[in-house]
Amino acid sequence: MEMSTRLDAPWLNSGALPRLLAVLDSDGEEAAVIGGAVRNALLGEPVHEFDIATTAVPGEVVRRVTAAGFKAVPTGIEHGTITVVIDGQPFEVTTLREDVETYGRKAKVAFGRDWKKDAERRDFTFNALSATRDGVVRDFTGGIADLKARRVRFIGDAARRIEEDYLRILRFFRFYAAYGEGQPDPDGLRACIAARAGLATLSRERVRMEMLKLLAARHAVSALAAMAEGGLLLPVLGGVPYLAAFANIKKAEDAAGIPADSVRRLGALGVSVVEDAERLGARLRLSNEEQAQLAAMGDGWWRIDPSRPANELRALLYRLGPQRYTDRALLAFARSQSPAADKSWRELVALPQRWTAPKFPLASGDFIARGVEKGPKLGEAMRKAEQDWIAADFPLDSHALQAILSKSA
């Protein structure tokens, strides 16, 4: 075990976390921060949540934190996990475990006090790192060396780790996309390819969660390429991936200064027509809003290019709204033959930053005053007037509006 590394993180010395550790790491019990918070802190990456491992059994955890005035929520008490809430901030506290029998996700475990055995049942070496409340990093699996090398490596036998939970195939590529450098670990890659049939056993919600995280990661292009070469991407998407378009939309986002959007990137990877959005929506159990976002991208993206008149692009922005317009424009940009630095495409994508669509200035009362009856005729007159207003490039002067009103009423 390597224990020479010391973590100097502000959250170990201030806020709610040290108060929780003081309660759990005392009177014969031990507690430490484990997993992602330690990994990210060592890499200088943002830390958003904290997981705590402890030798105390769940009942003792509840007793201690309740006595300290904290809220205990038994979110996974049968697996040894208690969510402790302090000043509105949640912390997952899990009792150390060791495997008694392993048969997929339903592995039979026992609570324990052995930090090494607990570390060895986790997925990747750098996710098994733990830090005591005085900042000493415990490393039982070689995670520090792998972190320095930006290498994603399964703990122990990769095939066995995957058999315990086939979601670890997607996690391998997701962590590689987020933290990896160079080629994927060959042992891990071979094990993922060999076990790819296990992806079919996963719930669509779990696959969705991992894939959307992967798509937003900095090295998503390399991770997706490795998945595709290993025959792992087609089973997930249920259709042919457009890897070049995915790589291009990432470049286009960067060139335009637009933040990454996982659903938009999914559209670049898997959507060519509206029906593709329906397939991905069912395949990944996307929300209605996410599927609608994909469908809007697939609906005629090929009609967008910088040669279109400016008033047509403004009309498209008015109909779609800024988000949908940006998604569709970026998809068209990504599937064009133009480089990411192309000025005309960048100006097309940036239209929502330069122009805000006005609100249709005519109201129902304007038509009623002209003798249009309430009901279907009124609705039809307003729709026609709005179409004429859009075709006239959104005039706001009273003369133009009166002309549109006279024509429609």
- Predicted confidence pLDDT, tens digits, the chain (409 residues): 555 688 989 999 999 999 999 999 999 999 999 999 999 999 999 999 999 999 999 999 999 999 999 999 998 888 899 999 999 999 999 999 987 665 554 556 689 899 999 999 999 999 999 999 999 999 999 999 999 999 999 999 999 999 999 999 999 999 999 999 999 999 999 999 999 999 999 999 999 999 999 999 999 999 999 999 999 999 999 999 999 999 999 999 998 899 999 999 999 999 999 999 999 999 999 999 999 999 999 999 999 999 999 999 999 999 999 999 999 999 999 999 899 999 999 999 999 999 999 999 999 999 999 999 999 999 999 999 999 999 999 999 999 999 999 888 7
CA 346/CA 374 separation, integer angstroms: 45
Q: Determine the residue type at 236.
A: V
SS3 138: strand
132: left (phi over 0), alpha (psi -120 to 50) or beta: beta
- Per 3-state DSSP, the chain is made up of helix, strand and coil in percentages (nearest 5) of 55, 10, 35
CB 37 within 8 A of CB 47: yes
List the end-to-end C-alpha distance of the chain, in Å, as a whole number.
Answer: 82
pLDDT at position 255: 87
The C-alpha atoms of residue 63 and residue 378 are separated, in whole angstroms, by 67
* pLDDT value of residue 103: 53
The owner of tokens 């959007």 is 261
Q: Which pLDDT value is given to residue 2?
A: 56
State both tokens at 96: 């150390």
**Which tokens in the block code for residue 222?**
């390399």
Residue 111's DSSP bridge partners are 97
Residue 127 per-residue DSSP state: G
pTM over 0.85: yes
- Per DSSP, the residues of 206-258 read HHHHHHHHHHTSTTHHHHHHHHHHTT-HHHHHSS---HHHHHHHHHHHHHHTP
pLDDT at residue number 5: 86
Which residues make Cβ contacts (< 8 Å) with residue 70, sequence separation at least 6? 20, 23, 84, 85, 86
Tokens describing residue 120: 């060895």
Six-digit token string for 261: 């959007």
CATH 3.30.460.10 intervals, the chain:
1-149
CATH number of this structure's domain 1-149: 3.30.460.10
Residue 353, classed as helix, strand or coil, is: helix
Angstrom distance (rounded) from CA 222 to CA 403: 57
Written as six digits, the tokens of 260 are 């990454």
Other CB atoms closer than 10 Å to residue 231's CB: what's the count?
A: 10
330 has which bridge partners?
none
Task: Find, among 95, 97, 20, the residue nearest to 60 by Cα.
Answer: 95
AA identity, residue 385: A
* DSSP per residue, 316-351: HHHHH-HHHHHHHHHHHHHTSS--TT-HHHHHHHTH
Structure confidence at residue 188 (pLDDT): 98
Q: Cα(293)–Cα(305) distance, rounded to whole angstroms?
A: 20
pLDDT score of 20: 97
Instruction: Retrieve residue 403's tokens.
Output: 């002309």
Closest CA to 155 of 140, 145, 166, 167: 140
